Structure 1
């Protein structure tokens, strides 16, 4: 028994030693890279991009470095930012949605609602990005060719108005921590659902903020747990921190080893707050299908984790 306890302790110490500790930044970003990636008028929040330097000298793009300005935009289901605003799935002309080649012979269709911004990769290839970075909320359809099994990887960004601290104006304060969420369904060429977002996906966070007390963040192996952190009592941006981790270059590839990543956490529609958003409610036959009810997924902290990478393999 003593030998087993010793081995267990050694394993815990090894996991702690191998854990990638975060780089911390303090206060809001002061360098602005882009004043706004897209502008949708009075209902749109400013989708700015900035840079901030951490205490160990690393420079971080906040809320995230993206391919928005150069990548193919996903087709619309519902997009109040100059796009299509379908009233229901029956209005979708699927044959007019372009098919993007991810290297394969079978055609698939992905239906996506993202809060706020997504980038979709298939077998490491960037297929499409969200055409609306922040708000108003939108939903999308993406068609692609691949062979099974294939890897789906999604970069998710919960955008922010206070750059570098994951906060936005809400409920009478500019220091309100927003939340995220992804729901998706993938169908084959016959319209059969072959994948939905659920707890079988992997999810890893790479940017957590706002953090009032750094000791609340627990890093153990690949677990980056901010559940003990207070998400709404920020009183001063200048004294508030953020935690950042480097994204592996090959994270979207099929051969990337995500076995140590935590499982995705699922959240209800009410928790994410989509029951008043037409970009979601117009398509509940897809997202809340009786026989294939997709769930909202994220890392373990829907509010504080702002840059989350998600992965699954479709067989």
Structure 2
């Protein structure tokens, strides 16, 4: 009897170990994927916890939640980005076109006639007044010489366009934070085109004019652009770095029906990135994109103002980092001389 009992105990131990073995292999497999990434970013996996719901609501617009997620190195990250949207000291841009708030202006003149001159941001008392026209997919914050001059009213959708006026002396440096918002926080995805986890895309175009309505600057390949948040990533080995260059162009952009295992990469923003004396010499040049690639041909916030953005004498180009699909938080800079 004692021998039979010992035999049964041995059998139970063998079965128990066999059941635990696959779990151990899966854990090793997940860890090995993380270890194979040799870059400078922090790694997160899966969906972030929502910390703020709907910072802005718009009829027929997508939810504008904000989340937080911890990376494998113990850091915490705000997704899709840490913004000044709720900061009352950072001014909102005025509307060029904003259907969320009934500002369906059809022309530049109509929008400017509704501009409140008290909203002009003074940087230099003896400066000239400049006007920036901006269409961002999805959200922007704009600085001139480190001074906050305007942020997007609509963080996600419906698509809008904006006017920012400021008083400054040349030369001055424009610095902008650009964010492609997301529904599935922490993995850069939204429900779209038949997929529960579809990759979103970004893009920003801007035209700056002087008081005589002359174009003095447009977005193009002369701007600098650096990415700080890449998602979704299915295989961390697809991202490469060469000096300060961060490339995700070899990554899968198909999305899927379940993003629970998707990865994301995060880099900390440098101090004073918005200041005029910040050294961006090692940042990559901005990548330019066509209107068709960004998909603006059916968006009145853009098409009503092609005389500005697609001017015959100086056509502005959409800019972003090297990957307009997976790179979700991008900083851009340009000095107007």
Which residue, out of 34, 40, 57, partners 1:21? 40
Instruction: Report the equivalent of 1:35.
Output: 53
TM-score (norm: length of structure 1) = 0.91
TM-score (norm: length of structure 2) = 0.85
CA drift of 1:185 comes to 0.2
Alpha-carbon deviations, 1:134-160, whole Å to 9, x = none? Answer: 000000111001110000001000000
- Size of the aligned set, in residue pairs, is 295
Instruction: Report the equivalent of 1:128.
Output: 150
Which residue, out of 268, 272, 282, partners 1:246? 268
Alpha-carbon deviations, 1:172-195, whole Å to 9, x = none? Answer: 112000100000000111111100
Q: Which runs of 5+ in 2 are unaligned?
A: 1-37
More moved, 161-170 vs 88-97: 88-97
Quick one: distance in 1 between partners of 2:102 and 2:131? 19
Instruction: Report the equivalent of 2:185.
Output: 163
Q: Is 1:147 paired with 2:195? A: no
Alpha-carbon deviations, 1:228-274, whole Å to 9, x = none? Answer: 00111445322110000000120010110000000000000000000
Structure number with greater Rg is 2
Which residue, out of 65, 89, 94, partners 1:48? 65
Which residue, out of 272, 297, 300, partners 1:275? 297
Q: Which runs of 5+ in 1 are unaligned?
A: 1-18
Alignment of 1:1-315 (within 5 A): 21-30=40-49, 32-41=50-59, 43-70=60-87, 71-94=90-113, 96-97=116-117, 98-104=119-125, 105-315=127-337
Alpha-carbon deviations, 1:212-236, whole Å to 9, x = none? Answer: 0000000121100000001114453
Structure richer in strand, relative to its length = 1
CA drift of 1:106 comes to 1.0
Quick one: distance in 2 between partners of 1:313 and 1:281? 27
Quick one: distance in 2 between partners of 1:196 and 1:67? 25
CA drift of 1:295 comes to 0.3
Instruction: Check whether the contact 2:195–2:256 (CA below 8 A) recurs between aligned residues.
Output: no
Structure richer in helix, relative to its length = 2
CA drift of 1:103 comes to 2.7
